[in-house]
Chain A
Amino acid sequence: MKRATLRFHVYQQVLFQLDELLAQPGDTAFAKEIFCCGAKDLLADLELIRPTCWLEGADELRRCVQTGNVCPESVHRSLLDLRRSFCEKVEPQVLIDFIILRRTHWRVCELLARALMEEPGVHVRIVPVACLHELQDECGQAMQREVKRSGLAYFPFEEYDIETERPDIVVDNMAVDSAKEREFRALRIGNFTQRVVHLEHSVLTGYTEAMKAAYFRVGRSRCWQYLVPSKLFSSALPLIFRIDGNYLAVGTPEADVIYQSQQQKTESRQYRQILWDLDTLEPNRDVPEDHARLTRELDMIEQMAQRHPEVRSVVRPHPDFYNNQRCVPFAARFEQILRRYPETVTRDTHVQIYDTYREVDAMMTWMTSTTAFSFGMTGKPFMVMPGYVPGGYDTIMDMHLLHSLRVAYTLEDIDHFFAQISQGKDEGREERLRVLREYFGPDDGTASRTAARKILSVYYAAEQKGNQS
């Protein structure tokens, strides 16, 4: 009867080491030295299950190693006992740790975590990190409460030590591998775990950031698997960004969140609602056009409130909008608009953007924003506002996609869009959805499960391949 579980890769490693020690001749002094070093390391690995499982032969082996009395017969006997006992009492379990940055990322991660938990022989733990710059998240406390409520295993960030925990797979939604977030470099995930699955709350942001940081990280510029929504991503991304790694092009868990969210009923309303994605500024530096486009967006919100009082604007500021000192004048202006048009302009109060997606009828966002992709999956109409950089538009979209979208080049374009929304019209819906599906893959609520199975099958295959080669 199996009584203890051990990390999958440690289990494999212990078996390998046991076989190695059993095969090692121990008659010369040098061979005994090598043997003792291997046996000590093996016993240290077994410490992971020591409190819960007693293994025959382990104490005998420990005694031999400590005293240096490596008698071939007795050592061989204790190793055989240990191997038999180990195989009987211990079973491998794939330990997967989720390192999650923000409360707003939780919903997407949760679906993938639950899908992984459903697979046999898998244990999932959630490590919500204390995000220093996200004060509205109470430095990670709010996220902790949500994880605990979900019933999934929670592991405190402050106590997380990768050397001790030794997970088989790390699912990272904050580019741990490329150390995008400086404060989490102390976790040193990339140093100790080769198996990092990169999952971003919104697929494209992560790649942009990962690319920038990974480029210069000598020897550690790639994740084991990048979870991408479609084959289009897996072929286009390595061309655009310098990412070296493997791609799981099986859909994104974010698609499932949107799918589930859209299944829920919404209250019927007499008025139409349009979501505005209010961006933030770079916290430390001037980026060309950054101020101008934020000013422009606030102008547009105000103009539309005047021209279309029948449509309600729901404004969702970026999580950093209120934390960023440089945004203070913009925040003041936004508050002013809220006071001036209390009936037509409101602030979005949902923690998860997907709840807002469900309630609104359309969206105004930026060419540079990944929300265009995720909102696009709801099937609802949206318009993208262009930002400019020297030389052209600042965009994350290619011409193929831009061609199928509405772009707000002028105020009249937005005016026209608002008029259409208030009349319940959606031009070019079929073409837009067709193109978006090329990017996002299936939107039938099965992406998380497919991704979970694929991750595990690739993991098992990689472990097996290593042991067979």
Chain B
Amino acid sequence: MNWEAFFAELPASLTECRVLFLDDFLNSSRRLVFWQTGTQNRIAVQLLLHKGCDQSRLQYWMPEPGDPPEDGIAVVCGVQPRSFWEDRTLALCHYDYPGDAAFYASVKGLCIQNDLPLPTSIHELSRGYALGAEKIAVCREEILRAWDTLADEKSREVLVELLKAAARPYYWNMDMHAENFGIPDPKRVSVLPRQAEFPSLPPGRILYALGEDFDGNFFSALPRSWLDRMLILCPGQTNRRLLRGWAAEQNVHLQILPEMPSDTDGYLLRQEKMFLGGTPLRPARRPVVIQCCKLDQITARTGPVMAVLLNLDDELENALAGAQQLLARRPLVLVQGFSSLEKAWQTINRMRTMFPDAGLQLQRVCTENILQGYFLTITPQ
């Protein structure tokens, strides 16, 4: 793999762009000042309110000539006059920025011309790249380490495919001058007619901890022999409902417990969040009480476990911390679901630290030629 060439070919809009992470903004007390009430700004406000942002922190600004600037992070749609930009943290809340190459280039040109820094992009309010794609350039060493740590060539290819797909802007970045008039070429993007190859397992119970992202298509891809002996830990009621609906449709009998694997036993107050197309949308809902339990505790009740599937995202490390006895028995561990791109290489590296002798394989799940996601298999040596 020619990594030099890969990093050199990354689009400038990915490598140069500054990013304001929405969680950082939500956890601060700063304000967002939206320049004018354009449609995109109204949509942005709507999404921020969905995410639980206080309305008083969001403000539309309709300045008259000569008006003094407002305090806060200024958010604009399109390119505004220099007077508006100076001495301010500017986030270009434009859906096409930085994903649209032409638009990005025009903003960049204007900035250079006026000797101004490039504006910041609020990733969740912009479009063009997969969530976390902007970290490809800055996390070079981590990516290379993850690539090295994977057990076989096939897994390494999968990681490269994942990175390449994330570094390609979405459709709105169509190059109308290209031969294909902007219609993506399936051969160059990540949808390949390759089915997931799940490892074969000896008889025994399989534990599946399902966090926040239920996907019926992934369940459909799982071998039937796995489903019959699977115990599913699914703390979210909505996901449980979807899971039971799926089971009724498929006529599959599933054993489900409403607990979340963690490093302690007890209860946790948690805001439910849902993922949509790579962008976490957190509707303003009441937090729910989640029952937490160590995986060791659960296996003490259920008996021996042959394999553990974990789709837990942020809770992964806590779950593994509460599974010391279980892991000591060396079951097969499958980690699934990377809601943000950087989680892919971060998880590989962390798993290598936790399981220094294990073989790590990255695989992809496709059903009917549609990419459903990736999972990392940790095979005990």
- Which A residues have a C-beta under 8 Å from some C-beta of B? 9, 12-13, 16-17, 20, 29-30, 33-34, 37-38, 40-41, 44-45, 132-133, 163, 179, 182-183, 185-186, 188, 190-192, 194, 212-213, 215-222, 242, 244, 283-288, 389-391, 463, 466-469
Contacts and interface: CB of A to CB of B under 8 A. Distances in A.
B81 interface: no
Interface string B101-118: 011000000000000000
A284 B237 CA distance: 40
B264 interface: no
Contact of A192 (B95, B102, B242): B242
B241 interface: yes
Nearest to B278: A218
22 contacts: A9-B245, A9-B249, A13-B248, A17-B244, A33-B257, A34-B256, A41-B256, A44-B237, A183-B43, A185-B281, A191-B276, A192-B238, A213-B171, A216-B189, A218-B277, A218-B372, A222-B370, A244-B369, A244-B370, A284-B78, A389-B176, A390-B177
B273 to A, nearest CB: 11
Contacts of B172: 212
B170 A132 contact: no
B181 A389 contact: yes
A140 B43 CA distance: 15
Contacts of A29: 301
A217 B277 contact: yes
Contacts of B171: 212-213, 215-216
A467 B372 CA distance: 24
B251 A467 contact: yes
Given A133-B39, A186-B283, A34 B181 contact: no
A466 B369 contact: no
Contacts of B215: 219
A285 B103 contact: yes
B2 to A, nearest CB: 25
B321 interface: no
- Considering residues B94, B277, B371, which has the most beta carbons from chain A within 10 angstroms of its beta carbon? B277
Given A216-B170, A219-B217, A463-B249, 10 more contacts: A9-B248, A13-B245, A34-B255, A41-B237, A186-B50, A215-B184, A218-B371, A218-B372, A284-B96, A389-B181
Contacts of B170: 216
Contacts of B256: 34, 37-38, 41
Contacts of B368: 244
Nearest to B177: A390
A217 B131 CA distance: 12
B251 A468 contact: yes
Contacts of B47: 186
B371 A182 contact: no
B271 interface: no
B72 interface: no
A172 to B, nearest CB: 15
B340 interface: no
A30 B302 contact: yes
Nearest to A40: B258
A194 B216 contact: yes
A132 B186 CA distance: 33
B34 to A, nearest CB: 14
Contacts of B62: none
A335 B55 CA distance: 40
Contacts of A44: 237, 241
Contacts of B218: 219
A233 to B, nearest CB: 18
Interface string B343-381: 000000000000000000000000011111100000000
B42 interface: yes
A391 to B, nearest CB: 7
Query: Which of under 10, 10 to 19, 20 to 34, or 35 or more describes the interface residues of B?
Result: 35 or more
B301 A30 contact: yes
Contact of A219 (B46, B179, B302, B372): B372
Contacts of A45: 241
B370 A219 contact: yes
B274 A188 contact: yes
Contacts of B250: 466, 469
A45 B240 CA distance: 11
B176 A17 contact: no
Given A13-B244, A34-B256, A466-B250, A132 B96 contact: no
Given A41-B237, A215-B189, A242-B186, A220 B277 contact: yes
A389 B369 CA distance: 32
A14 to B, nearest CB: 9
Contacts of B244: 13, 17, 38, 41
A183 B44 CA distance: 9
A285 B39 contact: no
Nearest to A323: B39
Nearest to B77: A284
A133 B37 CA distance: 11
Interface in B170-211: 170-172, 176-177, 179, 181, 184, 186, 189, 191
B253 interface: yes
A37 B235 CA distance: 10
Nearest to A15: B248
A221 B190 CA distance: 13
A285 B276 contact: no
B100 interface: yes
Given A185-B281, A192-B242, A16 B373 contact: no
A219 B274 contact: no
B96 A185 contact: no
Contacts of A287: 176
Contacts of A38: 244, 256
A467 B237 CA distance: 23
Interface in B271-302: 274, 276-279, 281, 283, 301-302
Given A17-B248, A222-B370, A185 B238 contact: no
A179 B277 contact: yes
Nearest to A190: B276
Nearest to A182: B43
A5 B189 CA distance: 46
Nearest to A29: B301
A218 B283 CA distance: 21
Contacts of A284: 78, 94-96, 103
A286 B179 CA distance: 19
A469 B251 contact: yes
Interface in B40-55: 42-43, 46-47, 50
Nearest to A284: B96
Nearest to A31: B255
B222 to A, nearest CB: 14
Contact of B100 (A12, A41, A285, A390): A285
A94 to B, nearest CB: 15
Interface string B62-88: 000000000000000010000000000
A170 to B, nearest CB: 15
Nearest to B176: A288
A215 B189 CA distance: 10
Nearest to A10: B245
A389 B178 CA distance: 11
A391 B371 CA distance: 32
B292 to A, nearest CB: 15
Contacts of B373: 218-219
Nearest to A135: B39
A390 B174 CA distance: 13
A357 B241 CA distance: 47
A285 B96 contact: yes
Contacts of A9: 245, 248-249
